[in-house]
A and B are shown apart, each in its own frame.
Chain A
Amino acid sequence: MTYLLIFGALLVGTALTVGAAFVDLGHFNPVVAILIACIKAVLVILFFMHVFYSSRLMKLTVAAGFFTFLVLITMTLSDYLSRAWGLW
């Protein structure tokens, strides 16, 4: 059933991540790795955690979680990037 398909997709994603690590993509190596990890996380959230089949309230809650996490990362980064300490 669907679970098996998602399981297979997740394993393929893992293989892709490891394979891509051995290819020289320059600055895009971590970008590709994170992108594949995000796709895997979305698959787990939507189908293993049933959010795809859940109410609007659940979907909104999960989206709020992502939003708060993005705020954490971007606000912290913008703080560091705007300092002129010479490290960046």
Chain B
Amino acid sequence: MDSHATAIEPADVHESHEHPAYLRHHFETPEQQKEASAFGMWLFLLTEIMFFGGLFAAYLIYRNWYYPAFVAGSNTLKISLGTVNTGVLIGSSFTMAMGVWCAEMRKKSGLVLCLLLTMALGLVFLGVKYFEYKEKFELHHVPGADFSIEKFIHPDDPAKNPPLGPDMAAKTQVYFSLYFAMTGMHALHMIIGISILVFLVVRARQGAYINGYVQPIEYFGLYWHFVDIVWIFLFPLLYLINRHPGR
């Protein structure tokens, strides 16, 4: 008899309050969600800073202990390649920042182009790194059984690269260990970044990031800029030890 006992069509509960689709319900406003997720991303970047910081601290100590070995090791690297790589990475940071701007301005083609350019520049960086590593293998500069200190004890150009005693020459292995550890870790971060970029490009082409939800692009941008900053510090520390003529 009670007419209220009839089944009611369940109304869409989201009619009761207006909010964008991407708002998770444990946040009150999209702005709060944005702030919280940015905070979380920065905390992750802080852990990454401490991760690379450990390697930098090790570099600092060993460079002070074995300075001549570090000079000799650093002079085997090509400044031209390092500078090109630095320019390439800074360029990729610029294209990434432009990508974030395109996402905020809701330009889909611009966003996809910027993401693709960032990926391309990242791949160029890795390509140059590959050639640098290949040369290191050929010159017996890779720490381990194949490492050779011969060229450090009897250098080809003693005027430019003074010969080291055998005990200090043996310490060049420490320099190259740090070189491979730091640039290798950095390259691993680049590879992870490029993989995520592939996913972002696919989603961006489907129109995912131009409707107000730019957070993934923005936070990936933060990660990419962080990787760039690590290289900005790696470059002078590894490539530019005591390079002036007449030393």
Contacts and interface: CB of A to CB of B under 8 A. Distances in A.
A84 interface: no
Contacts of B236: 17, 21, 30, 33-34, 36-37
B64 interface: yes
Contacts of B79: 18, 21
A37 B38 contact: no
Nearest to B48: A65
Given A34-B236, A58-B38, A87-B65, A65 B46 contact: yes
Interface residues of B, number: 50
A69 interface: yes
Contact of A7 (B57, B91, B221, B241): B91
Interface string A47-88: 111100011011001101100110011001100100000011
B232 A37 contact: yes
Contacts of B56: 73
A82 to B, nearest CB: 13
Interface stretch (B82-90, B134-142, B176-184, B200-208): B82-90
B98 interface: yes
Q: Give the contact-size bracket for chain A.
A: 35 or more
A64 B245 CA distance: 40
Contacts of A88: 64-65
A48 B225 contact: yes
Given A24-B247, A76-B57, A10 B233 contact: no
Contact of B244 (A24, A64, A73): A24
B131 interface: no
A22 B236 CA distance: 12
Contact of A21 (B42, B53, B218, B244): B244
B240 A33 contact: yes
B243 A72 contact: no
B213 interface: no
Contacts of B43: 61
Interface of A: 3-4, 6-7, 10-11, 14, 17-18, 21-25, 29-30, 33-34, 36-37, 40-41, 44-45, 47-50, 54-55, 57-58, 61-62, 64-65, 68-69, 72-73, 76-77, 80, 87-88
Given A3-B94, A47-B97, 20 more contacts: A6-B94, A11-B90, A14-B86, A17-B235, A18-B79, A18-B240, A21-B243, A24-B244, A29-B240, A29-B244, A30-B241, A36-B236, A37-B232, A49-B226, A50-B218, A57-B39, A65-B42, A73-B56, A87-B65, A88-B65
Closest 7 CB pairs of A and B: A33-B236, A21-B240, A65-B46, A7-B94, A24-B244, A21-B243, A61-B42
